[in-house]
Amino acid sequence: MGCKKLEMGTLYGIGVGPGDPELITLKAINILKRVAVVYAAASTKNNYSVAVEIVSPHLQENVPVEHLGFPMSLDRKELAMAWEENAIKVLKRLKDGKDAAFVTLGDPLIYSTFGYLMQTIKGIEPYISVQAIPGITSFQAGAASAGMVLTEGEESLTLFSGALGADKLRRTIGHTDNMVMLKVYRNYKEIMDTLDQLDLTDKSVLISRCGLDGEEVIKDIKSRSDKVPPYLSLLLIKKKR
């Protein structure tokens, strides 16, 4: 009697959209309805996840939701260890033949821990099936809330992170028309001062908690340059605004 080979499951990296529960795709919902386990990133400080809150109504009853710890650290060794530990945990489920979803805000391939998870899993098991399901990004939703055109005609758009300060902003400004800066909260004061020095304060809009309770669209950012915004905040900068 032959032994039936167990098929391995697929890991789906699901972009759940920027926060408004109506901005999740049908494709994401259809996959969420049938996965056996859901993963979400957790910081070392807490397990709360807006992404999990958004997907909860779409899951089968009793589907386990597990939080994978990704330390908020710049230490490459510490990070690599965490990615590997998490990848092994997820791989174990996939090898049991279970499909799994890793849920993340916005799009899973834009500044998401899913990117690290996918690459680490593929590094360990190149033949495992991993699929990204695109989501509406925070800055697309932010532009809609601000009523601001992101690009038109021949304009270019540069996306970058403010996590390491305003240096990239200074180096990029001469080479692009429009900019989106995510993760603005940590170096907020430095970023505000740099926008001022580059004469971009009037050309920038700050959007916080887009699509969530307490959403704010701040067009006069000078009036708010002293108050550090929440983690879920981004800047849209248009040179020709």
Ligand X SMILES: C[S@@+](CC[C@H](N)C(=O)[O-])C[C@H]1O[C@@H](n2cnc3c(N)ncnc32)[C@H](O)[C@@H]1O
The answer to whether the beta carbons of residues 37 and 62 sit under 8 Å apart is no
Give all strands (DSSP E) within the chain, no chain letters: 10-15, 37-42, 65-69, 100-104, 129-133, 157-161, 178-182, 204-208, 216-218, 233-238
Among 232, 236, 237, 238, binds ligand X (CB under 6 A): 232
Nearest-CA neighbor of 207 among 227, 232, 224? 232
Q: What is the CA radius of gyration of the chain?
A: 20
- At residue 170, φ and ψ (nearest 5 deg) are -60, -40
> Of 59, 195, 210, 218, which one interacts with ligand X (CB under 6 A)?
210
Residue with tokens 């330390």, as numbered in its chain: 71
The contact mask relative to ligand X for 19-48 (x = CB under 6 A, - = no) is x-----------------------------
Chosen residue from 212, 224, 225, 239 binding ligand X by CB under 6 A: 212
- The total number of residues written for the chain in this structure: 241
Q: Which of 103, 108, 107 is nearest to 136 (CA)?
A: 107
For position 233 contacting ligand X by CB under 6 A, the verdict is: yes
183: contact with ligand X by CB under 6 A: yes
Q: Which of residues 100-129 bind ligand X (CB under 6 A)?
A: 104-107, 110-112
Please report how close the Cβ of residue 6 comes to ligand X at its closest, in angstroms. 33
Stretch that binds ligand X, among 6-14, 26-34, 189-197, 232-240 (CB under 6 A): 232-240
* Cβ closest to ligand X, residue 205 vs residue 234: 234
The reply to whether 137 sits near ligand X by the rule CB under 6 A is yes
DSSP 104: E
Enter the tokens of residue 135.
């989501």
Q: Does 209 bind ligand X (CB under 6 A)?
A: yes
Which residues of this protein are in contact with ligand X, per CB under 6 A? 18-19, 104-107, 110-112, 137-138, 142, 182-183, 207-212, 231-234
